[in-house]
Amino acid sequence: MPSIETHPLPPFLPENARLLMLGSFPPPQARWKMNFYYPNFQNDMWRIFGWVFFGDKAHFIAANTAEKRFREPQIRDFLSKTGIAFSDAAYRVRRLQGNASDRFLEVVEPVDLAKLLSRLPACRNIATTGELATDTLLSLLPPATAKPAIGQPAETEFAGRTLKLHRLPSSSRAYPLALEKKAAAYAGFFREIGLLEDGIT
């Protein structure tokens, strides 16, 4: 039986955040290129953010270095100013195949969602970026909560507030959708919740 791993990163919770984004769980640390969410250089989350908000998929990638890595301070600063929080839906997991594929992650303990939201007084939107994250989130919400689909948000009541739930395309390259189409979906979502005025179409 694989050992249980506890999430290695603290949640990133700017007090002004209007959006909480939830993935599933980080990859093994040997694949990290920074000490932050979506640290695997093969994951396209920060390319999507660069494309959507700056028109440049390399905006958050370090330049002039032989080591491929992300610009962590710039990512943190951007998220803080924009009001976007990050965490994962799982707090403790077993890796059944030694990787971060949703198919081979067993969620042992989900995140404490009420505790996260208590630190995000302005947050009314939660976006998940994969099937496992979505299902884990739903396990924490009232049983009647509808499951969101891409482009089809759902609403629920939790922790004394109305929350709008959104499902976004996975930023993993294993997800069969071109980067520009993923970026377009994210851009539409960010416009819908008021975090993007200009950007790609």
Q: Is 74 helix (H, G, I), strand (E, B) or coil?
A: helix
Distance between CA atoms of 154 and 158, rounded to whole angstroms? Answer: 13
State the pTM of this model. 0.93
- The CATH code of the domain that includes 42 is 3.40.470.10
Residue 24's alpha-carbon distances to 111, 192, 194, in angstroms, are 10, 24, 25
- Give the mean model confidence (pLDDT) for residues 11-35: 95
pLDDT computed for residue 197 by the predictor? 83
**172: its two tokens:** 């993993």
Q: 152 is in which domain, residue-wise?
A: 4-192
Q: Look up residue 17 and give its DSSP letter.
A: -
C-alpha 184, offset from chain centre: 16
Helix (H) or strand (E) holding 188: helix 179-192
Flag whether 201 is in a domain: no
Flag whether 198 is in a domain: no
List, for residues 110-158, the tens digit of each pLDDT value: 999 999 999 999 999 999 998 999 999 999 999 999 999 999 999 999 9
Flag whether 87 is in a domain: yes
Number of domains in the chain: 1
Flag whether 18 is in a domain: yes
Flag whether 168 is in a domain: yes
55-63 contact pairs (CB < 8 A, 24+) = 55/199, 55/200, 57/179, 57/183
List, for residues 84-106, the tens digit of each pLDDT value: 999 999 999 998 876 666 778 89
pLDDT computed for residue 97 by the predictor? 79
Q: Are strands 90-95 and 125-128 parallel, antiparallel or unpaired?
A: unpaired
Flag whether 161 is in a domain: yes
Flag whether 92 is in a domain: yes
Flag whether 182 is in a domain: yes
Distance between CA atoms of 95 and 187, rounded to whole angstroms? Answer: 32
Q: Look up residue 173 and give its DSSP letter.
A: T
